[in-house]
Amino acid sequence: MVQGENMNIGVVGMGFVGSVTAAVLADQGNSVVALDIDSEKIARFNSGNVPIFEPGLRDLILKNKKNLKFTTDYEMLKDSDVIFVSVPTPNLKGKINLEYVYMAIDSVKSVNKDAIIVIKSTVVPGTGSKIKGEFNVKIVSNPEFLREGNAIDDTVHPDRIIVGGEEEYAEKVANIWKFTDSPILITTTENAELIKYASNSFLATKISFINEIANLCERIPNSDVEIVAKGMGYDKRIGRLFLKAGIGYGGSCFPKDTEAFITYADELGEELKIIRAAKKTNEERIDRVIGILKRKFGKIDGLRVLQLGISFKENTNDLRESQALKLYRSLVKQGADVTVFDPVTSVEGINFCENLGDCLSDADVIVIATEWPEFKKIENMNIKVPLIDGRRILDPEKFEKYIGIGRCCSD
């Protein structure tokens, strides 16, 4: 196949990864059938009321209406040359649950025995080979590295494309991604699967590493983790990205993947000590923030907190494993009276404030929990109460009582 040749492509699982993959590949001129078993979700994709908040996704879907079909019917995949599987792989008691992947492969095989099936879902090493043996299908591993909130750009301009599997099939899948002009590594399915876990675990470790340095900075006069990270980041071997200290990492990937990787390695008799430590450090982040509040106010009970941000990071409404949501719950559990402002998310049972300006006056303290750029606005709002910058996005000089994570010794 030559580069640029359009193909019939199927995508199973319309989460972030699946819907973005489908939209981007349709935009490249391929005929794409996008499938999910959730009929409500599919109805929303079909009506243009896209059920996923991801910048640019709705427009890309509408632009490619002609060659992007959403369905719940596996029969529609019978003519697909290549079928991407991007269904969830949640953890069950700390261990990866591959049930949805197996169900999807089984359903694909029942309508199309010849297609190359590409596993995009994050799966533990050995899964691709196992499925190939059990189902007798053409399997390729093509892990995903997109970030929510930046998903389209990450898919069109990824740092690298990893494709694992038998050369003939892997080459075909690699060809689909040639338009990205990114480096393509073709390897075994096991290596591809490992690259995904090792990458996510490394990034999670990088965040926990800087968060530990932040803890230290809080005790050293005249120190600030932001400057330390900046100074470290100039070293190309270290790099400046993912060295942002804060209230910890969340989302549907880092917490789940690190845990599943640790369990997987344990079963092989290898302890992943560094990743285990990164996980522990992350789990302690919420208590660090609570500790700052306790030192400042003596107790949490009755404290009126305005929390800015509830999603797991900026530019998304995703609450999965959100540290901001964990912080909210912990504060409420300890008796705080918490109001939340978030630019796009609202959750039933949580007291949300619609307009940031309106809720400032009722708070004893403001806590930044998510890195939304628009929170910068409060720099000009003449805030008098203490402000805890849990994501280090604000200029300390703009506040009377600024307390920053990793900054000595403001609390």
- The answer to whether residue 228 forms part of the interface with ligand UGA (CB under 6 A) is no
The bridge status of strand 138-141 relative to strand 161-165 is: antiparallel
Q: For ligand UGA, give the closer residue by CB, 288 or 313.
A: 313
Stretch that binds ligand UGA, among 74-82, 166-174, 184-192, 248-256 (CB under 6 A): 248-256
Of 64 and 258, CB closest to ligand UGA: 258
- Near ligand UGA by CB under 6 A: residue from 148, 226, 342, 389: 148
Please identify which residue in 15, 128, 246, 386 interacts with ligand UGA, judged by CB under 6 A: 246
Indicate whether 279 belongs to the interface with ligand UGA (CB under 6 A): no
Residue 249 in the binding site for ligand UGA (CB under 6 A): yes
Pair 131, 105: CB distance under 8 Å:
yes
Give the whole-angstrom CA distance, residue 178 versus residue 37.
30
Task: Tell me if 115 contacts ligand UGA by CB under 6 A.
Answer: no
144 contacts ligand UGA (rule: CB under 6 A): yes
Shortest Å distance, C-beta 68 to ligand UGA: 22
Distance, CA of 62 to CA of 125 (rounded, Å) = 37
Site for ligand UGA in 293-312 (CB under 6 A): 312
- Which part of the chain contacts ligand UGA (CB under 6 A), choosing from 28-36, 141-149, 291-299, 374-382? 141-149
Distance, CA of 307 to CA of 305 (rounded, Å)? 6
Q: Which of 78, 95, 109, 147: binder of ligand UGA (CB under 6 A)?
A: 147
Backbone angles phi, psi at 57, to 5 degrees: -70, -45
352: left (phi over 0), alpha (psi -120 to 50) or beta: beta
Compute CA distances 393 → 119, 189, 230, 404, whole Å: 37, 40, 14, 9
Q: How far is CA 133 from the centre of its chain?
A: 31
Can residue 10 be called a binding residue for ligand UGA (CB under 6 A)? no
Name the token pair of 33.
């059938």
86 binds ligand UGA (CB under 6 A): no
Closest approach of ligand UGA to the CB of residue 23, in Å: 16
CA-to-CA distance for 101 and 182, rounded, in angstroms? 27
Query: Are the CB atoms for 376 and 394 separated by under 8 Å?
Result: yes
399 part of the interface to ligand UGA, by CB under 6 A: no
Active site residue 253: yes
Angle at which helix 127-135 crosses helix 99-111, to 10 degrees, equals 40
Q: Does 242 bind ligand UGA (CB under 6 A)?
A: yes
Which positions lie near ligand UGA, rule CB under 6 A?
A: 122, 144-148, 200, 203, 207, 242-244, 246, 249-251, 253-254, 312-313, 371
Active-site residues: which are they? 253
